[in-house]
Amino acid sequence: MGIRIITDSTSDISINQAVQMNITLVPLKVIFGDMEYKEGVDITIDGFYEKLVKAERLPTTSQPSPDDFLKYFKEGKEAGDSIIVLVIAAKLSGTYQSAMIAKEMADYDDIHIIDSDTTTCALRILVEQAVKLRDEGAKTDDIVASLMELKDRVVLLAMVDTLEFLHKGGRLSKSSAILGTLLKFKPIINVKEGAIGVVGKERGVNKAIGRILEVMDEFGEIDTEYPVHLGFTAQDDQCKVLKDKLTEKYRLNGMIMHPVGCVVGTHAGPGACVVTYVKR
């Protein structure tokens, strides 16, 4: 009997990384017209952003089906393993619902499905912690309890070029999107309890990054026991500026910077910069 960890592709963990971590990735889908692509399987991140900037119409996204989870649940059941599932916020995607339906279909009690209340690099922090605890020999119930406590301390802040993509994708109201795009402001958003909110809007990259640092101070001290992740959509230049500012202000070392995947990138749009960390 072992512990199997499953997450979805919005965690921005690549297939190769998933193999190294000994976890299972269930991909979400991005749809351009009549063409459907499984994130990280049928389309690369670079290929996605190339298509996104050229697309006349915004692509749509789709959650995995219950069957996409069920095959892994059945394998775990047959092996007598515990299964821990960490997925994108239920308020942002139907992925959690699909996993819950699959659990009922599998008829297996030792499946623990956690709504992360977040996505992208923040979800990745939770997955990395689950892997760490599993590899240290922690019991399933202890891992689940730790993740439930930790997810309330994970912070996700992002600077986006426009709120247009979030509004068109149905993740933000029209009024919030209009306010954020007035006078070419750079909106700053956060994900809290699974919902997206606007926490600031500033003119220019430097002022927007300054506001991110202010919000981080308002949220409380960074817990350096956990990694700080930086994510970017299409271009990493603004993310590098943020990384330098974080290093200068908080003396952070070893920050991990990587591209944000297709599904989250569809709603954030090109030019977004994300920082995620755990607060004390």
pLDDT of amino acid 268: 85
For residue 124, which phi and psi values (nearest 5 degrees)?
-60, -40
State how beta strands 229-232 and 256-259 pair: parallel
Q: What mean pLDDT do residues 224-232 have?
A: 95
Task: Report whether 165 contacts 269 (CB < 8 A).
Answer: yes
Q: 69-73, 84-88, 190-194, 202-206 — which is least confidently predicted?
A: 202-206
Rounded to an integer, what is the distance from CA 76 to the centroid of its chain? 25
- Residues 113, 115, 120: CA angle, nearest 5 degrees: 120
Which pair of structure tokens corresponds to residue 74?
């059945």
- Min mean pLDDT across 65-74, 179-188, 189-198 is at 179-188
Q: Does domain 3-28+63-150 have CATH number 3.40.50.10440?
A: yes
Q: Of the candidates 246, 266, 264, which has an alpha carbon nearest to the alpha carbon of residue 254? A: 246
Question: Which residues have C-beta within 8 Å of that of residue 131, sequence separation ≥ 6?
Answer: 5, 21, 22, 23
Are 165 and 180 a contacting pair, CB within 8 Å? no
For the chain, the residue count is 280
Residue 168, pLDDT score: 54
Going by pLDDT thresholds of 50, 70 and 90, the confidence category of residue 164 is low
pLDDT category, 2, cuts 50, 70, 90? very high
Distance CA 97, CA 62 (A): 13
State yes or no: pLDDT of 26 exceeds 70: yes
Q: What is the pLDDT of residue 267?
A: 84
Judged by average pLDDT, the poorest of 103-117, 138-152, 261-275 is 261-275
Class in CATH terms, 154-278: alpha beta
Q: What is the mean pLDDT of residues 156-162?
A: 86
Averaged over 127-147, what is the pLDDT? Answer: 98
What mean pLDDT do residues 77-99 have? 97
pTM of structure: 0.91
Q: Residue 13: what pLDDT? A: 95
* pLDDT score of 157: 96
Q: How far is CA 182 from CA 30, 125, 164, 205, in A?
A: 29, 34, 11, 15
Query: Are 7 and 123 in contact, with CB atoms under 8 Å apart?
Result: yes
For the chain, give the mean pLDDT.
91
Contact between residue 272 and residue 64 where contact means Cβ atoms under 8 Å apart = no
**Residue ranges covered by each domain of the chain:** 3-28+63-150, 154-278
Q: What is the pLDDT of residue 165?
A: 55
pLDDT tens track for 251-274: 888 899 999 999 999 888 888 999
Alpha-carbon distance of 169 to 152, in angstroms, equals 25
| Alpha-carbon distance values, 267 to 4, 153, 165 (Å) | 30, 24, 5
Whether residue 103 has pLDDT greater than 70: yes
Residue 138 has pLDDT above 80, yes or no: yes
Instruction: With a cut of 70, say whether residue 97 has pLDDT above it.
Output: yes
Confidence check: pLDDT of 186 > 50: yes
Residue 180 has pLDDT above 50, yes or no: no
Give the pLDDT score at 200: 87
Q: How far apart are CA 42 and CA 40, in angstroms?
A: 6
* pLDDT greater than 60 at residue 65: yes
d(CA 6, CA 216): 30
pLDDT of residue 161: 76
Tokens 């306010």, located at residue: 179
